[in-house]
Structure 1
Amino acid sequence: MSVVGIDLGSQTTKIGVARNKGIDIITNETSNRATPSLVGFGPKSRYLGENAKTQEISNLKNTISSLKRLAGRSLNDPEVTIEQEFITAPLVDINGQVGAEVTYRGEKQRFTAVQLIGMYLGKLRDTASKELRLPVSDVVISCPPWFTDAQRRAMLDASQVANLKLLRLINDNTAIALGYGITKTDLPEADAKPRRVAFVDIGYSDYTCSIVEFRKGELAVKATTYDRHFGGRNFDKALVDHFAKEFKEKFKLDITTNAKAKLRVAAAAEKIKKILSANTSAPLNIESLMDDKDVRAVLKREELEELVRPLLERVTVPIEQALAEAKLKVEDLDAVEMVGGCTRVPSIKEAIAKFFGRPLSYTLNQDEAVARGCTFSCAILSPVFRVRDFAIHDIVTYPIEFTWEQSPDIPDEDTSLTVFNKGNVMPSTKILTFYRKQPFDLEARYAKPEMLPGKTNPWIGRFSVKGVKADAQDDFMICKLKARLNIHGILNVESGYYVEDVEVEEPVPEAKEGDKMETDQPNGDAEPKPKTRKVKKQQRKGELPMSAGTSSLDEQTLASLAEAENQMYMEDKLVADTEDKKNELEAYIYELRGAIDDKYSEFASPEEKEKIKDKLEKTEDWLYDEGDDATKAQYIAKMDDIKFVAGPVIQRYNDKLEEERQARFKAEEEVAAKKRAEAEAKKKAEEEAKKTAEPQKAEDTEMKDAETVKPDEVEESTGSK
């Protein structure tokens, strides 16, 4: 089982995996750590990620970007109109959901945002699976904190379409905070003053600021604010508008009338923006932009800052709002962490540093912090990976209320209640109590629709409670409903049950030691009987059947979308395999043509050479004519035909190689055997010499002992004379 975290971005996506006791951000098939968040459609197959980026300019009307910003939206949402400025494919309405109309496999087809995101997630799944060499199922995916219930449900549905089990849909800012805190070993204890950190995340399309408190083993989000339309793409758009005006005056070219030219200028503008983060000026040169005309320009950093002045004036607004909601001052913060590619812009850094009056911190990877946090979250939730326990207390972004019809038996009953207020801890569970004599419905909706992005429908869901009836005394049934804002930030009424008031006896608490009075005990040492009292308590008696209607897709629809996705996936695979076989056939033709007069020359007769060359020529003519769009089976058949003709020649060559190999092996064996024999003979000779030397050594020792005369023996001999 694998542990995977996905930072699903508007422009690019990063994939993190847990392995080797750490977190790695993996590379895709082109060795890039970031995969373009694009889905494209062609005459034969889909293009996903890097492949979609490669063909984007030549296939604008069939390529869709900003995928996550379409999730859970409708076409009449004004923010979808804004997205159409950045998406080159036409957006359409599909049963109340926004989608795209494209030409795919020669036909006009429509795909919803859920399907498009599901396609892209399938590509990410395969990238992670190839890297890990394991099937990928469990994932944690990031989303902006301003996502509504409908948008979050759309992300869950898309994950199911991609055959992924989404363990948690985590807010971007919360993932960043988790990645920051879980690696810290010096966080304050639970009863100490917390470490307060502001996280400023400015990415490609939006801007988020969070104030987070850290203690040992936990984090608590205190406030999260955002600007949904402040990011790198807004800087790019300002540059494109500037150059469009300049090119119209200077080169008489109107790039607004040519989508391809506009996209090329946008790509160049993005490069200029990055260059100006480190330099004071940057050149722009585009060859044959329109009407075979080349364009060139130079932009200074001061000019860029003037162009984006309206944006820069909004830089500190989310920070001010976050501090106000957290009820903190600038001096209450311990650090300000900067995350996101757009935080490299000097003017943004200067404005934020000036506001806080302190140096900004860049201890996190600006591009990969969210992906790392998602992967840590997945590791915490996964049973197969051991990681330090770290509690996450997120907050509710929008207040949620329940409404219901007034009971005819309770004329003064309130018909609405705000159950989850903005800033409440999430996940969270609340128990709602109703007194009813018949089944009833309640609806969940956002209490303040003006806070929602665009013209999002504030409706969240309708929940029907069944099995409700009056009791034998025609009295109310006491109904308890369990409402939960879960780990994904999605609201559900998870269960319902009814209770009854029953009388139970419970012991009366004993008086304290000092209050006891001495009394006679007629039974000697017998313990006094404990006192009890009767109290009314609610006792759970049974379950109440529930049914729910939400923006989530029903199981049947999800199953059909998953089946359609699998079919397209298999078609893509067949197209890729077919292309591989075509390339293999083409390469084999060139290789064999060169080899027949080279390494195979001495193994083929002139007739065989002529026959093989003729076969290669005919196959090549077929390949570049009617075989350009053939099937996988046809390419395999053509390859087999060539191998049938050239097979005998190649076999002779291989036999010759085998003979030479066997001869080399035999010669090597003979040399090795000779060396072994020589070694054995040498060893034997040494042993013989050793045996011969031992008796001679003993004899020499005896002679030496006999010849040795002690000094006292000499003296005695001299004395006797």
Structure 2
Amino acid sequence: MSVVGLDIGNQSCYIAVARGGGIETIANEYSDRLTPSIVSFGEKQRIIGTAAKTQVISNAKNTVTNFKKLLAQQHSNPCVQLEKKWLPYELQELEDRSVGIKLQYLNQPTVMRPEQILAMLLTKLKQSTEAGLGTKVVDCVISVPQYFTDAERRAVLTASSIAGLNCMKVMNDSTAVSLAYGIYKQDLPTPEEKPRNIVFVDMGNSSLQTSVCAFNKGKLRVLATCSDAMIGGRDFDRLIAEHFASEFKTKYKIDVKSKIRPWLRLQQECEKLKKLMSANSVKIPLNIECLMDDIDVTGKMQRSEFEDMASPLFDRIETVLRQLLEQSKLKLDDIYSVEIVGGSTRVPAVKDIIQKIFKKDCSTTLNQDEAVARGCALQCAMLSPTFRVREFSTTDLLPYTINLEWATDEDEEPGTAEIFPQFHSVPFSKMLTFYRKEAFELHATYTKTSNFNYHDLNIGKFKILNVKPAFDGESSKVKVKVRIDGHGIFTVSSASMMEKLAPSEEAADEADKKESETPMETDQETAAAASTEEKPANTEEKPANETASETPPTPTSTEEESMNVDDASQPNGEQAPSGDAAKDDGKKEEAKKEVKKKKKTTKQHELAIESLVHEPPSSILTEFCETEFKMQANDKLERDKSHARNNVEEYVYEMRGKIYEQLEKFIKEDDRTQFSKLLDDTENWLYEDGEDVEKNIYIKKLEELKKHGDPVIMRYKESIDRPDAFELLGKTLIHYNKILDSYKKGDELYNHIEKSEMSKVEDKIKEKTKWRDENWNKQNQVPVTENPVVTVSQIHQETGLLKAVCEPIVTKSKPKPKEEPPKDKEKEKTEESGENTTEVKMEDGTSVDPSAQEKPAADDPDVKMDLD
């Protein structure tokens, strides 16, 4: 199972995977760890990533860049209109007022949504990952800027679905960076000690994101975040480009901004100039050949000049950093270090501002480009059941305030409440209580603040269905659970109605309970159950895509809070159960005792919820998936066709030179002339009628060429390999001949082999020697322009047959010598020592056998015997 983290930037993307006990960055097919966030559409296919970068200028109107800012946006949004001014392609307002991108694909006009473009980029990253890992990729974690709204986060999930990916979590860039920083730190303070506060500054191509995180061993908590979505490295590039465009207009009388291609070329060169100025304080030249109207332009800029021009941008950066410090409520002494990531933090002036605000040198502990992707891969490993990761919990923050509105009586204003304030912990759930007689609607919105740069405040509408009054006409109590999930997305996760039972229903329910021998439930039991439902953060039942690492620590409050939402129809004094009851064991015991005395008066019903959020309907999503599938199939077809055409072209160029060089003596003059003409005709056909034909036509063309060229190549290879093959056969024959001679001389190594067996060896040697001599002579009489009489494979085959017969015979092992029967050990000793075994007569007239004296009697009780 793969564990993948994807950093989708406005300009470029990075892929990180958990493998080999660590995190690695995956390179694409160009061995580049960076993949540009570019999708280009052509007459035959689309091009994505590194290959599409060459199309930015040549196919500017059909090459989509900087589309991340367009996700889930309305066309009328001022940010979109500002972005539109810099884009080379056209935008169009769609029926739902969202943004569409006008393109030409397969010579047909088409309109693509930014979500579809993102899905195409994700598809490319998925393919690169699968090629690098050699396995299928499904699960991933995708990074987004911390300022992304609910709609933008849903758009990322939609794009991942179109690309066939299961996005386990949409993770904030700054949180991913802090996770990549903290999980490897071994010297973090313990949970009981004062946390270590780290500031992270991430400035990339299009935005500035900052955060302050508190680290303890095994956990991190985001204290504050602040960002500016409209300032980044590209703003510096455009500022320099505007300067030189004005200079060239005066110096060379050309208006670079009037045409797309020279304007894009100038921006690319200004980006290079900015990077050079970051490393050098001297004046750096800018030279562009044929920028416009065949005019070569030159210019110069020094770092000090650039810093003077960009001072308004630097002031905005300073404002964001001061706001972060103010929101964190930390003193400068409380900050341990300042970590910088992102390409634009390499600008010296940006580093100077950071040092000036926080009074600390900028630290580059992390990889400035790959830190986000690495953090996402770590988070994906935590969510994956197949990986063991060091326990590390993460508590994120909500960037904006979320309000909830609902309708009341006609003569009253709609009810409203602030459900989740700014910088609230994520993920988090709250339980709301309403009193209603019919279905009602909840409307979630953002609060307009100074840091909210969006035109649309709407999050979504959620209709609670199937609500009905109680049997006595009173309002029913409806409990609604709202949640900010691990993705940072607001949802109404569940709704239930507490229905009062009529007396007849109570009696029937009591009878049912008695029949099933189940204890009855009363209001207090229901209240106790409801209280115990309100679990603290670390015990709440979580969706499949959340883990304990996402859950905030349990401070003084619980993750699931209860709120009463009252109106004129609310019964007197009825309140939602408090979560404190679940914590008091004594109260629970008392409630259990009273339960047995009371009858059940309410029944809980789960209610259906109808959501209207920023997501395409299932039919539209299916259409997007089908479109993506067709495009992938067309890309594969064009790729295969291109490979087939390249194979023909490669064969033409290769053979044209070889038939007059190394293959010259292996082809007849007439055949060479004819083959050369065929190669020339094929080359002309490739650049004329055969420039764009079906794949099978290219295959047939290649087969036709190989009918003429392959025999020549075969004769050449045979002439090189044949001598070695004959030599090997000859050495094998000599080897077995030597063994045969040794056998005939009575060599002890082979005298155990039977004569009939050795005759087989002798016959086989004669047979193969004859075959070798005949075919060697025949081959020497055939010219090299003709096909060989005997091939190398045939020679190797004959060598193998020779070995198959002879080798088992000549390597036959000698039989073991027969063993003689064992002699009596005592006799052997006597014989060896030369002792006389004659009986010896004692003085008393008895005789004794000397050998018998040495053996004790078997029945002697003092004799010890070893038994095996």
TM-score normalized with structure 2 length: 0.73
Judge conservation of contact 2:322–2:357 (CA < 8 Å) in 1.
no
Q: What is the distance in 2 between the residues matched to 1:468 and 1:664?
A: 95
Letter matched to residue 689 of structure 2: E
Q: Which residue of 1 aligns with 2:311?
A: 309
Q: Secondary structure in 1 aligned to 2:316?
A: coil
Work out whether 1:243 is the aligned partner of 2:244. yes
Q: Which residue of 1 aligns with 2:84?
A: 84
Q: Which residue of 1 aligns with 2:405?
A: 403
State the 1:500 CA deviation. 5.4
Greater share of strand: 1
State the 1:598 CA deviation. 3.9
State the 1:87 CA deviation. 2.1
State the 1:236 CA deviation. 0.5
Q: Which residue of 2 aligns with 1:575?
A: 638
> CA offsets per residue over residues 470-499 of structure 1, 9 Å max, x none?
222223221111211111111111121123
Q: Secondary structure in 2 aligned to 1:33?
A: coil
> CA offsets per residue over residues 246-280 of structure 1, 9 Å max, x none?
11122222111122111111111111111111111
State the 1:535 CA deviation. 8.2
Q: Which residue of 2 aligns with 1:463?
A: 462
State the 1:341 CA deviation. 1.0
Q: Comparing 640-649 with 26-35, which one deviates more in the overlay? A: 640-649
Judge conservation of contact 1:94–1:112 (CA < 8 Å) in 2.
no
Q: What is the distance in 1 between the residues matched to 2:453 and 2:148?
A: 8
Q: What is the distance in 2 between the residues matched to 1:230 and 1:339?
A: 15
State the 1:452 CA deviation. 2.6
Q: Secondary structure in 2 aligned to 1:43?
A: coil
Q: Which residue of 1 aligns with 2:837?
A: none
State the 1:656 CA deviation. 4.8
Q: Mapping of 1:466-615 within 5 angstroms?
A: 466-499=465-498, 502-504=522-524, 541-615=604-678
Q: Which residue of 2 aligns with 1:513?
A: none
Letter matched to residue 607 of structure 2: L
Q: What is the distance in 2 between the residues matched to 1:26 and 1:602?
A: 49
> CA offsets per residue over residues 526-546 of structure 1, 9 Å max, x none?
xxxx97586899976221111
Larger Rg: 2
Judge conservation of contact 1:97–1:113 (CA < 8 Å) in 2.
no
Q: Secondary structure in 1 aligned to 2:611?
A: strand
Letter matched to residue 605 of structure 1: K
State the 1:659 CA deviation. 4.0
Q: Which residue of 2 aligns with 1:708?
A: none
Q: Secondary structure in 2 aligned to 1:313?
A: helix
Over 3 Å counting, the alpha-carbon distance change for 1:99 and 1:610 in structure 2 is: same
Q: Mapping of 1:326-405 within 5 angstroms?
A: 326-405=328-407
5+ residue gaps in structure 2? 501-521, 529-580, 582-591, 752-813, 818-868
Work out whether 1:55 is the aligned partner of 2:55. yes
Q: Secondary structure in 2 aligned to 1:92?
A: strand
State the 1:610 CA deviation. 3.2
Judge conservation of contact 1:199–1:338 (CA < 8 Å) in 2.
yes
Q: What is the distance in 2 between the residues matched to 1:323 and 1:673?
A: 90
Q: Which residue of 1 aligns with 2:68?
A: 68
Letter matched to residue 270 of structure 2: A
Over 3 Å counting, the alpha-carbon distance change for 1:609 and 1:388 in structure 2 is: same
Q: What is the distance in 1 between the residues matched to 2:17 and 2:75?
A: 36
Q: Secondary structure in 1 aligned to 2:363?
A: coil
Q: Which residue of 2 aligns with 1:438?
A: 438
Judge conservation of contact 1:504–1:536 (CA < 8 Å) in 2.
no
State the 1:285 CA deviation. 0.9
Q: Mapping of 1:155-166 within 5 angstroms?
A: 155-166=156-167
| Higher relative contact order (CA closer than 8 Å, sequence separation 6+) | 1
Q: What is the distance in 1 between the residues matched to 2:618 and 2:317?
A: 44
Q: Comparing 465-474 with 272-281, which one deviates more in the overlay? A: 465-474
Q: Mapping of 1:137-148 within 5 angstroms?
A: 137-148=138-149
> CA offsets per residue over residues 11-37 of structure 1, 9 Å max, x none?
111111111111111211222211111
Q: Comparing 395-404 with 592-601, which one deviates more in the overlay? A: 592-601
State the 1:606 CA deviation. 3.4
State the 1:414 CA deviation. 6.7
Q: Mapping of 1:94-109 within 5 angstroms?
A: 94-95=94-95, 96-109=97-110
Q: Secondary structure in 2 aligned to 1:140?
A: strand
State the 1:45 CA deviation. 0.8
Judge conservation of contact 1:611–1:645 (CA < 8 Å) in 2.
no
Letter matched to residue 610 of structure 2: S
State the 1:678 CA deviation. 11
Q: Mapping of 1:680-719 within 5 angstroms?
A: none
Over 3 Å counting, the alpha-carbon distance change for 1:603 and 1:617 in structure 2 is: same
> CA offsets per residue over residues 124-172 of structure 1, 9 Å max, x none?
1111111111111111111111111111111111111111111111111
> CA offsets per residue over residues 391-447 of structure 1, 9 Å max, x none?
111111111111111157xx8897111111111101111111111111111111113
Judge conservation of contact 1:203–1:341 (CA < 8 Å) in 2.
yes
Q: What is the distance in 2 between the residues matched to 1:264 and 1:317?
A: 32
Letter matched to residue 640 of structure 1: E
State the 1:199 CA deviation. 0.5
Letter matched to residue 27 of structure 2: T
Over 3 Å counting, the alpha-carbon distance change for 1:535 and 1:626 in structure 2 is: same
Q: What is the distance in 1 between the residues matched to 2:525 and 2:609?
A: 34
> CA offsets per residue over residues 318-349 of structure 1, 9 Å max, x none?
12111221221222111111111111111111
Over 3 Å counting, the alpha-carbon distance change for 1:667 and 1:172 in structure 2 is: farther
> CA offsets per residue over residues 215-265 of structure 1, 9 Å max, x none?
111111111001112211111111001111111122222111122111111
Q: What is the distance in 2 between the residues matched to 1:420 and 1:678?
A: 100
Q: Which residue of 2 aligns with 1:226?
A: 227
TM-score normalized with structure 1 length: 0.87
State the 1:677 CA deviation. 9.3
Count of residue correspondences = 666
